[in-house]
Structures are given as structure tokens and as C-alpha cells.
Amino acid sequence: MSVAPVLPAGGYLGWRFLGRTLAVQRTAFAAAPGRQRDEAYFRAKIGTIDTAEELVSDRRLLAVALGAFGLDADINARAFLRKVLESRTLDPTSLAGRLADKRYGEMAAAFGFGDYAVPRSKLSDFPDRILGAWRERQFEVAVGEQDRAMRLALGGRRELAALAARDVTDKTKWFTIMGNPPLREVFETAFGLPRGFAALDLDQQLASLRSHARRAFGDDRVAQFADPARMESLMRRFLIRAEIAQSGLSAAPAQAALTLLEAAPRVPRWR
């Protein structure tokens, strides 16, 4: 029997409830017999896989591999996925390096079929790392079946926390956000950016995102979101705007909600 996440409300109210119950809900969700069987199968089989072709030929293994990177929808694109997984990830001209969605490159690097004579799937801790990511994202998928914005907020918080802590330039972090479709949507919605924003020149997008971050938080660096209070403020903005868009509120109530949002105390600047 599958266990569905409990979301008694949408928007920011639902988000607060989910935050209070997240650990318990995730544990119950992961304990479902079907997911336990999928985990056991992955643990037993992944160490025997030597090539990308073998991985994409085993639909059950592939489902877990894709789910760990939020790419579940590509389960039937076997030929494409094989080429991605065989890419040399340190070569920016490879297929994985050229794709705008950087999740493909992350998956190819994790497995290492194109980078090493012996793939990383042979490492003893590999199943734990992939299954940990898979469990987390599968819970987010289940949340998204009830509330898409809530799924984006969960995934956005996870991805952004990891990105904020990375030892790379701030420009690289912003470009990583732009190359991650779900995370990009969180920022575009939170900042009230127009539909055509993604069609702008990349440098224009970068300048605009930094400008909006500076106006909203007093800081234009991605590293600021390592601060839980700053992260919560971003998710609040995203969920309020997403709820307004989804509910089709009339102009007056929508404007009132946005006014309250903009009037919320700014999180103190930190260094």
C-alpha cells in the first residue's frame, strides 16, 4: 500500500505544515513495500552494471537512476540517455556539457561511464548516494501530484542549499540556477519575472536576477541562501506568488497579497 504525503492546505500555509511534519512523512513514504523492493533491486544489481547500454536496458534500474536526478519523464528516451551517460563530462563540447539542463551532466558525472574505465557505480557507497537522492525526489514527486508549487519549493530548497555552499564563483552559481529548470522557475516566480524572461540574453538574465535579489534581500549573491531565514523568505515569496497565479485572484485581492509580501521585514544582511 502506497503512502501519500499529507497536505491539508496549499500555498505558504501548507508549506509550514509540511515543514513541521517532513521527517515523519518522508519516513512513512520511504517504508512503502513497493519502494523498499525497488531499493533492494537497485542495491543488488547496480554493481553488476559496466556500461551505459546495460543501464538503459534495465528499465527498473533506469527508473531509479533518473528519479535520483529529477529526470523521471525521460524513462522512454533510451537512445538519448545512453549518449548522455557515455559523455565525457569534463569536456564542455560533449552532449552532457552542451545541454542547457545541467541535471543530465550531473547524472553522467555521477555514473562516470564516459570518464573512467571502471564506472562509479562499482563504488561501495554508490547505492547509498543514489538511493538517498532518489528517496528525497520521489517524495517531492508525490507532493507534486497534489501541489506542483510545493514540489518546486521542496526541490528548490534542496538544490539551492547545496548550490549556495559550493566553492565556485557567484556568476557560476547564478548560471547553474538558470540551467536548472525547476530552480529557475522558483526564482522567476518569486521575483515576478515575465514569461519571456528566459528568451533574453544570458548576461541580461544574470543582471536582472541579481538586481531582483538585491532589491528583495539586500544582497545579490547566491551564497546568501545558505542562511535558513533568507531561504525561507525566498520560498515564501515563491509560494505566495504561485498561489496567486494558480487561484486566478482578481486584481484587488492579488494586489493586497503582493503588498503584504513586499512589506514583509527584510532579512538582515549578513557576510
Q: What is the pLDDT of residue 212?
A: 97
Mean pLDDT of 82-105: 91
Q: What is the pLDDT of residue 269?
A: 45
State the DSSP code for 228: H
- What mean pLDDT value characterizes the chain? 90
Alpha helices in 179-265 (DSSP H): 181-190, 202-217, 228-247, 251-263
Q: Burial code of 54-64, b = ≥16 C-beta within 10 A, e = fewer?
A: bbbebeebbbb
Is the pLDDT at 102 greater than 50? The verdict is yes
Is the pLDDT at 260 greater than 80? The verdict is no
Q: What is the pLDDT of residue 245?
A: 87
Q: What is the pLDDT of residue 100?
A: 85
In terms of C-beta density within 10 A (0-12 exposed, 13-18 middle, 19 or more buried), how is residue 47 classed?
middle
Is the pLDDT at 267 greater than 60? The verdict is no
d(CA 233, CA 224) in angstroms, rounded, equals 11
Q: How many secondary structure helices (H) and strands (E) does the chain include? A: 14, 0
The pLDDT tens digits for 41-59 are 999 999 999 999 999 999 9
Q: What is the pLDDT of residue 254?
A: 46
- The pLDDT confidence band at residue 270, using thresholds 50, 70 and 90, is very low
- All structural domains of the chain, each given as residue ranges with its CATH number in brackets, are 11-133 (1.10.3700.10), 149-263 (no CATH)
Is the pLDDT at 125 greater than 70? The verdict is yes
- Residue 201's alpha-carbon distances to 99, 170, 174, 181, in angstroms, are 17, 18, 14, 16
Is the pLDDT at 1 greater than 80? The verdict is no
Q: What is the pLDDT of residue 143?
A: 96
CB atoms within 10 A of CB 149: 26
pTM reported for the whole predicted model: 0.83
The pLDDT tens digits for 186-205 are 999 999 999 889 889 999 99
Is the pLDDT at 92 greater than 50? The verdict is yes
Q: What is the pLDDT of residue 65?
A: 97
Q: What is the pLDDT of residue 250?
A: 45
Mean pLDDT of 254-259: 50
Q: What is the pLDDT of residue 268?
A: 46
Q: What angle do CA 104, 106, 107 make, to 5 degrees?
A: 65
Q: What is the pLDDT of residue 147?
A: 95
Q: What is the pLDDT of residue 97?
A: 87
